Structure 1
Amino acid sequence: MASGEETIVIAGAGSIGCYAGGCLALAGRSVILLARPRVEAALRQEGLRVTDLEGRDRTIKPDALVVTADPAAALPKADTILVTVKSGVTQEMAALIAAHARPDAVVVSLQNGVDNADRLRAMLPARRVLAGMVPFNVVQSPDGEMPLRVHRASDGTVMIEDGEGGLAALLGVDGFAVETHADMKAVLWGKLLMNLNNALVALSGLPLADELADRRWRLILAGQIDEALVAMKASRIEPARIAGLRPALLPKVLRLPDWLFKLLARRMLAIDPEARSSMWDDLQRGRATEIDDLQGAIQRLAEKAGTPAPLVVRIMTLVRKAEQEKRGSPGLAPGAVTAGMVV
């Protein structure tokens, strides 16, 4: 693939999509951002500011961005489509791709959860669909801040499924490192284990670094991971390493005293102080969360395997309650989350 000739469409320019598209545009790639009308209006008005944990602070002027809310205007031009929508609208985006994109366009899922690439493949059977994984957290500026800013608040390398020559070189740019991986199933299940923490950030309202630094919250995360690992083992799923650790060791590390955890888990705690989770952001904005594709994936796996997952189910119940109430994060304490349970 020759980067100067390929057009990349970001199918769902929210936080992750704007960050990926911004980095690619800054590197000279041909990028079209397919965004919701609110984001489209903000980008057309003042452009896009892209910042990160390492201190980069770059701005793209409005006239240097190609952005639209019309799938019919963006998707037919795509050589590569990066799907960055929330899991709940994967099938909707797949239908738009089927209706408007060229048959030879390569589709890459850069979404949370473990089965979005499979959902895309089911609806796009004649197309090349690749799984991908974004390991880092991106924070979007509050409504009204101009220019709209997307800030990468943790680090890591984006992984994409091997098999499409030149794609990693096309997508890998300054601030957005990309590598291929031969076993994306393991990578996605490994990431899901840590993504079980998204709900705890959402329920607590705490910044991610503060929440992870508190052993009471880590005990809840460790308990969920224990349940997930039992279900995975029963299902013969082997998740990839997380932050350099074998998954089986992760609950043990999370249960360490605060002082020892901070000493041994520096890589896990290399997070910008402002970082929270996308699920927290969804609650704040009154939107549906991805709870069904995170904790829900573990619940379904456990039910199929016949293994218990009461803590995962409890977290799901609390997040769904917060979704229904539409009051943002409920600001729960750890004891309120685990009331009546042994963690």
Structure 2
Amino acid sequence: MSEQGAKPQRIVIAGAGAIGCFCGGLWAAAGHPVALLGRVRVLAPISHQGMDLTDYAGLETHVTPQQLYCSEDPVVLAGADLVIVAVKSSGTAAMGQLIAQHAPPTAPVLSFQNAMTNVVLLRQMLPGRDVRAAMVPFNVIPANLRDDAGHSTQPGFHRASSGDIVIEAGPGHWHRRISVPGLAVVESPDIEGVQWGKLLINLNNALNALSGIPLAAQLKSLAWRRVMADQMAEALRVLQAAGIDPVSTTPLPAWMTPHILRLPDWAFSRVAAKMLTIDPTARSSMAQDLMLGRVTEVEALQGEIQRLGKAHGVETPICDVVILLIRQAEMKQAGLPKMEPGQI
């Protein structure tokens, strides 16, 4: 349980994908009643077999079917003390409607989503409710065990990178209530700055998808780091023009990150050791989307910088090209493009 003697919180994960299942599983393992609201293809194996949760640092936790409630029926929202929204940006409006219809007005709603606009939309749809933004810094990938025939034998999720969840400061000390072993949660009074800092890092989601290589290998490539640095520098110019001060998600100030990325390999490996704390096989969520033939969230990432740049008269040629290349990859439905840095 998160705090000694604290009452378990009834948590509903509204949109149980990789992040939602991983966090929900750790909360359930710590004694919170957790309901996963999502699609049957994800939840059916979990409801029968439970799931294994692992991470890059050696975490190994098994959550039994009895520790979780899995459902496609939004009526499960009615029993929530806390709602965690973890759907893709394209599903925010629909989930907002379901929360408005079924969730208790007293239950806080935390958006564990990428992009800046999701929490704004949720607040518009849920007036008078405690709706807060959050930032999830780590990457989670499905890690289902399969038999020789390729059939799933045990659902699983693997956290491939590090960092603590940050939620918007507010009443109720919710960061303390939901901090559990393996999942630390902190509060910030400047969640918008934290979100912009995360968005800067998340711009690499698209580059990683275009590269076709794991994140760790991409970070070890000076050529790819230079593209990452140029894209981030472009975004920082846009934020500066808009008067936005991003809060870095790393120990280094956001403005310094492009300079660090451009360092030669030997210097980068020393200075940016924490940036390399990542599973060697991990890929970005956008890479996972392309591999599965799904529409990506590039409009919520590069698109956000593009729109802000237009509003403030700052050109964004790199983001423009990246959006175009991702859209082409989505249309081709051929998986990862496996491009070289020079092609971008």
Counterpart of 1:88 (choices 80, 87, 90) is 90
User: What is the number of equivalent residue pairs in this alignment?
Assistant: 336
Counterpart of 1:208 (choices 211, 215, 219) is 215
Q: Deviations over 1:215-238 (max 9, x none)?
A: 111111111111111110111000
Structure 1 gap segments, 5+ residues each = 339-343
SS at match of 1:51: strand
Corresponding residue of 1:13? 16
SS at match of 1:267: helix
TM-score computed with the length of structure 2 as normaliser: 0.95
Cα deviation, residue 63, structure 1: 2.5
Corresponding residue of 1:41? 44
Corresponding residue of 1:99? 101
Identity of aligned residues (%): 45
Q: Does 1:191 align with 2:198?
A: yes
Counterpart of 1:243 (choices 240, 243, 250) is 250
Corresponding residue of 2:277? 270
CA contact (8 A) 1:217 1:334 kept: yes
CA contact (8 A) 1:3 1:29 kept: no
Corresponding residue of 1:71? 74
* Aligned-pair Cα RMSD in Å: 1.4
CA contact (8 A) 1:199 1:315 kept: yes
Counterpart of 2:135 (choices 111, 133, 136) is 133
Note the 1:288-303 alignment, pairs <5 A: 288-303=295-310
Q: Distance in 2 between matches of 1:226 and 1:213?
A: 19
Cα deviation, residue 5, structure 1: 4.3
Corresponding residue of 1:117? 119
Q: Distance in 1 between matches of 2:203 and 2:174?
A: 30
CA contact (8 A) 2:33 2:68 kept: no
Q: Deviations over 1:152-204 (max 9, x none)?
A: 11111100011122211111111110000000010000011110110111111
Q: Does 1:59 align with 2:57?
A: no
Amino acid at match of 2:215: L
SS at match of 1:233: helix
Counterpart of 1:157 (choices 155, 164, 183) is 164
Structure 2 gap segments, 5+ residues each = none
TM-score computed with the length of structure 1 as normaliser: 0.95
Q: Distance in 1 between matches of 2:142 and 2:34?
A: 20
Q: Distance in 1 between matches of 2:171 and 2:336?
A: 41
Cα deviation, residue 28, structure 1: 0.5
Amino acid at match of 2:124: A
Q: Distance in 2 between matches of 1:259 and 1:6?
A: 47
